[in-house]
């Protein structure tokens, strides 16, 4: 088999790990692929390179893939997602001044009680004529949607009670250090960088807001997937083997070291290892804390592109872009996620594959065996922190049921 070259766009984040490890550990080569990487600083650049053909596929924010397909703010261009690169893996890091007011010391906060205290802080500041300001990595990001979901449920109007601004991940710690923002919601290692520099404290992780929230995806123009299905399926297999390698504790140190290299994250292996191992240091000098499911990979078919997760992101896009529900748009949003490509790519491998394309998001509280086309699949708890359940068939009613702020 001759080796086919593929260019992959990425931002320096721990959840860019799978394509990088697929190349570095030879999983790509086993599938006849050689992956070249193009790093950017800003998501707009990653997206542009993908649309203009500089890259063949990219590490991308899941909501941005959907927004691009629906033509939000630019001409519509259909993207396709055959593989989810990570669930969660983000945190909310606040300045010490704010964290000390709203969060308990030495442990992660509880979303409800941190929310209550934050609300009274918001009210206090409003009386003084100022607002708390949060930074997120992009308007169309899981960070923005989870932060807003949490704030709104706690009675804080994301559009009017606080300011939410956009900061590219590598600048998030700087923004906190320079008092440009009071808090950041960003992926790793950028929370840990802020902690290490002593400019902030990790108060919540996004897994506490939605235990199994879709985060980054492997995205490509839909026509590229259709034209070259075989190559993409080989890439999906390589990523799958990389995910299995990623979750094995025996590999954590090596993988952290690879990701830390200059051409990848160009950072500290020690900090990167925290996200890989779900051991998070909340504040400078503290003992690292076990945060189960901080970044969720591989297990429970975590990399499967559930259409119901695309639908949830679509619902939040409507909510915060203030748009009316449109059944056709929901279909187009769900079409971005391609479970069938995942299925054919991993057929015959020793791994469970879900039988359904969609599920009730947030409905599993214990562990639940579910139907599969191969292997045995048991899903773990996946709740939203407010206990709401999202039914992709009932998007309009779901939106009605959410707090209006």
Partner 1 sequence: MRIAVIDENPVRAAIIEDGLAEVGERDVFVISERSGMARAIETIDPDVILIDLGNPSRDMLEEYFAVSRAVSRPIAMFVEQSDEDTIAAAIDAGVSAYIVDGLSQRRMKPILDLAVRRFQAFSRLQAELKEARDALSDRTIIDSAKKILIGKRNISEPEAHKLLRDHAMNSNKRMAEIAEAIVTAEKLLGGGL
Q: Is 228 in the site for partner 1 (CB under 8 A)?
A: no
Please, where are the H alpha helices in 337-376? 339-346
CB of 67 or CB of 364, closer to partner 1: 67
| Least distance from partner 1 to the Cβ atom of residue 223, Å | 11
Q: Report cis status (omega within 30 of 0) of the bond before 189.
A: yes
Where in 100-139 is the site for partner 1 (CB under 8 A)?
Answer: 137-139
The tally of CA atoms less than 13 A away on the side-chain side of residue 110 is: 4
Per rule CB under 8 A, is residue 145 in the interface with partner 1?
Answer: no
Q: Does 53 bind partner 1 (CB under 8 A)?
A: yes
| Minimum distance of partner 1 from residue 305's CB (angstroms) | 23
Identified binder of partner 1 from the candidate list 77, 117, 131, 224, rule CB under 8 A:
77
Cα–Cα distance, 252 to 340 (Å, whole number): 31
The answer to whether residues 259 and 17 touch, using CB atoms and an 8 Å cutoff, is: yes
Residue with tokens 């969660």: 88
The number of beta carbons lying within 10 Å of the beta carbon of residue 15 is 22
What is the end-to-end Cα distance of the chain in Å, rounded?
Answer: 57
Q: Specify which residues 8 forms β-bridges with.
A: 37, 57
According to CB under 8 A, which residues from 265 to 324 bind partner 1? 324
Q: Which is nearer to partner 1, 135 or 354 (CB)?
A: 135
**Maximum Cα interatomic distance, the chain, rounded to a whole number of Å:** 69
Backbone dihedral region for residue 26 (phi beyond 0: left; psi -120 to 50: alpha; all else: beta)? left
Mode of pairing for the β-strands spanning 183-187 and 90-94? antiparallel
Is residue 41 at the binding interface for partner 1, with CB under 8 A as the rule? yes
Q: Which helix (H) or strand (E) holds 38?
A: strand 33-39
Choice between 181 and 269, CB closer to partner 1: 181
DSSP, res 15: G
When binding is defined by CB under 8 A, the residue of 4, 44, 126, 389 that contacts partner 1 is: 44
Number of chain positions touching partner 1 (CB under 8 A)? 28
Q: What is the C-alpha to C-alpha distance for residues 9 and 19, in angstroms, rounded to an integer?
A: 10
Nearest distance from C-beta of residue 111 to partner 1, angstroms: 26
- Check residue 332 for interaction with partner 1 (CB under 8 A): no
| Closest distance of CB 221 from partner 1, Å | 9
Does residue 210 touch partner 1 according to CB under 8 A? Answer: no
Mask 157-196, x = binds partner 1 (CB under 8 A)? --------xxxx-xx------x-x----------------
Query: Is 222 exposed, middle or buried, given 0-12, 13-18 or 19+ CB atoms closer than 10 A?
Result: middle
Beta bridge partners of 201: 94
Smallest gap from residue 167 Cβ to partner 1 (A): 7
Window contacting partner 1 (CB under 8 A); options: 38-46, 273-281, 345-353, 390-398? 38-46
Give the C-alpha separation, 21 to 274, whole Å.
Answer: 17
Residue 362 CB, shortest distance to partner 1, in Å, is: 29
Binding mask 351-390 for partner 1 (x = CB under 8 A): ----------------------------------------
Residues that bind partner 1 (CB under 8 A): 40-45, 48-49, 51-54, 73-75, 77, 137-139, 165-168, 170-171, 178, 180, 324
């Amino acid at each position: 088999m001759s080796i086919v070259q593929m260019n992959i766009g990425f931002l320096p984040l721990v959840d860019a790990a799978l394509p990088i490890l697929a190349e570095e550990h030879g999983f790509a080569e086993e599938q006849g692929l050689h992956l070249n990487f193009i790093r950017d600083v800003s998501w707009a650049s990653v997206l542009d390179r993908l649309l203009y053909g500089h890259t063949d596929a990219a590490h991308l924010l899941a909501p941005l893939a959907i927004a691009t397909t629906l033509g939000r703010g630019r001409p519509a261009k259909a993207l396709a997602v055959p593989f989810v690169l990570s669930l969660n893996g983000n945190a909310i890091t606040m300045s010490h001044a704010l964290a000390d007011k709203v969060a308990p010391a030495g442990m992660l906060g509880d979303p409800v009680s941190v929310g209550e205290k934050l609300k009274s802080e918001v009210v206090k500041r409003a009386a003084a004529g100022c607002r708390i300001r949060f930074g997120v990595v992009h308007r169309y990001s899981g960070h923005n949607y989870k932060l807003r979901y949490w704030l709104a449920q706690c009675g804080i109007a994301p559009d009017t009670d606080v300011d939410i601004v956009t900061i590219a991940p590598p600048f998030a710690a700087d923004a906190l250090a320079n008092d440009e923002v009071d808090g950041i919601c960003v992926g790793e290692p950028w929370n840990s960088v802020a902690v290490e520099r002593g400019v902030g404290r990790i108060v919540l992780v996004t897994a506490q807001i939605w235990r199994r929230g879709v985060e980054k995806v492997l995205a490509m123009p839909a026509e590229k997937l259709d034209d070259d299905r075989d190559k993409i399926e080989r890439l999906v297999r390589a990523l799958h083997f990389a995910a299995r390698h990623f979750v094995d504790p025996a590999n954590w140190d090596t993988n952290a070291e690879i990701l830390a290299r200059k051409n990848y994250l160009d950072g500290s292996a020690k900090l990167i290892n925290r996200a890989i191992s779900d051991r998070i240091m909340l504040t400078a000098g503290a003992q690292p804390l076990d945060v189960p499911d901080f970044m969720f990979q591989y297990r429970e078919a975590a990399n499967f592109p559930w259409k119901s997760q695309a639908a949830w992101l679509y619902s939040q896009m409507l909510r915060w872009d203030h748009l009316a529900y449109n059944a056709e748009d929901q279909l187009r949003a769900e079409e971005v996620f391609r479970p069938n490509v995942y299925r054919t790519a991993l057929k015959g491998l020793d791994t469970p594959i879900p039988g359904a394309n969609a599920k009730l998001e947030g409905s599993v509280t214990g562990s639940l065996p579910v139907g599969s086309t191969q292997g045995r699949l048991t899903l773990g708890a996946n709740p939203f922190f407010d206990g709401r359940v999202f039914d992709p068939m009932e998007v309009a009613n779901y939106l009605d049921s959410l707090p209006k702020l």
